[in-house]
Chain A
Amino acid sequence: MTTEAKLPTKRYFEDVQVGDEIPRLVKAPVTHLQLVRYAGASGDFNPLHTDPKIGEMLGIGGIIAHGMLIMGFLGQLLSDYVGPTALRKFGVRFKSMTRLDDVITCSGTITEKYEADGEARIAGKVQAVDQNGDVKASGTFVAALPKRGE
């Protein structure tokens, strides 16, 4: 794959303040093809994510996205913000089902800064909402950041 996409800039502990908002991430509309790809990539082949007939049968009206895809969107928000190996904890609760064509916006806020286990850490909350403002997933995270001059 070509790598024209830019690396996120490195963030230091001193750059982050309690109350800061993580730059929003607006994802492209969820498509059926994306769910098929996500099934193959993740290995979660539960047909209610890929087969519209199953969705009808279960009375949920068509297919729904994997919850983990939405957590993946939130993971992208966080790894863009702190880098790929800085997360110490990341948990979400799935609140409602995501359907085809939903446009998911991910956002987050820093709630805490502290030192623990010899690391400078930040904690925060994140959420994913659709185009109507319905919350799909919400959660919390902890990340370790480097300090300037160390």
Chain B
Amino acid sequence: MFDQSKIGQSFPPFTYQVERSKIHELNLAIGDENPLYHSKEAAQAAGYPDVPASPTTPTTFQFWGNADFVKHLVAIGVNVMRIIHGEEEYEYLAPIYAGDVLTGVTTLVDGKSRQSKDGSSMDILTLETRYTNQSGQEVLKARQVLIVR
């Protein structure tokens, strides 16, 4: 059974500098050749101050920015080898560009246990991470549902 007393708990804040090379690398792996994600010159020619974050670039904020993310999950009792990614949702509040310095705070907003058809139990956790930039502007809300079998 998931320990419901953990709901509402926030992990310590983390900071992450959005890197041009990381946006480039992520989109190479995805196979997205849009020049805006690979060249500062192309981005500026199109009127952007620098390379913009692509829609799923925030995944790099979480994994590279919060090196202790897995540790925090273990600390609230999650068996990380048994995690399945159920849902991911982003709310984009302001554009994010290479060079921005973001601060993220992740909160466990929901957690419950559910019985599967075969009688085994699984936990369903909802985490929300709110990001602000170097000007103190809120730029992104990321909501994630993790299923732990």
A residues engaging B (CB < 8 A)? 1, 3, 5-8, 27-28, 34, 37-38, 40-44, 46, 58, 66-69, 71-76, 78-80, 84-85, 87-94, 139
B109 at the A interface (CB under 8 A): no
B28 touches A91 (CB 8 A): no
Q: Which of B1-9, B82-90, B112-120 forms part of the interface with chain A?
A: B82-90
Assuming A5-B34, A43-B63, A76-B34, is B88 touching A92 (CB within 8 A)? Answer: yes
**CB atoms of A7 and B56 under 8 A apart:** no
- Could you list which residues of chain B lie within 8 angstroms of chain A, going by C-beta atoms? 22, 24-26, 28-39, 42, 46, 48, 52-56, 59-60, 62-64, 80-81, 83-92, 95, 143
Interface of B is mostly: mixed
CA distance A91 to B92 in the complex (A): 11
Instruction: Say yes or no: A72 contacts B32, CB within 8 Å.
Output: yes
A-B contact count, CB below 8 Å? 131
Give Cα A94 to B89, complex, Å. 11
| In the bound complex, CA of A75 to CA of B30 (Å) | 10
For B42, list chain A residues within 8 Å (CB). Answer: 3, 7
Decide yes or no: A34 and B36 within 8 Å by CB, A7-B42, A43-B64 being known contacts.
no
A79 contacts B54, C-beta separation under 8 Å: yes
Q: Which of B38, B46, B64 contacts A1 (CB 8 A)?
A: B38
